[in-house]
Amino acid sequence: MSYPAEYRYTKEHEWIAVNGGTGTVGITDYAQNSLGDIVFVELPKLGDVLEAHKIFGSVESVKAVSDLFSPVSGTVTAVNEELVGTPDKINTDANTTWILKLDLADPKQIDGLLTAADYEAFIAEETGH
């Protein structure tokens, strides 16, 4: 699986796409593949203030429950309500299925995240492949 070069990534397997002062957050293909069939996504609420690298929700699969961590700090401006009824959309296309959108508190935080190449190297190191 290739990871979009324009996204930034976390070691907790989230991605963020930035457009101006807005970030769109999802989980990586590696994460959804590791989790297996996703059956539930716990979403934050509109207006929630998230802190970088802190838990904002969770994803539940048939195998496990995994916490979701915000890549950056910001205020939630949108949540993907489709995931309430069809959480498995993440399994279908993790790279384009977003979980939340937020207004970035500090756009410079993006610079501290992994590039696609860094993320792929991290996965290779983590999995031994």
Distance CA 51, CA 118 (A): 23
pTM of the entire structure? Answer: 0.96
Distance CA 12, CA 52 (A): 12
- Of all residues in the chain, the percent with pLDDT exceeding 90 is 95
Kindly indicate the confidence band of residue 1, based on its pLDDT and cuts at 50, 70 and 90.
low
Distance CA 101, CA 21 (A): 10
Contacts of residue 20, defined as CB under 8 A and 6 or more positions apart, other chains included, come to: none
**Domains in the chain, please, with CATH?**
8-106 (2.40.50.100)
Could you report the per-residue pLDDT of 93-128, keeping only the tens digit for each?
A: 999 999 999 999 999 999 999 999 999 999 999 888
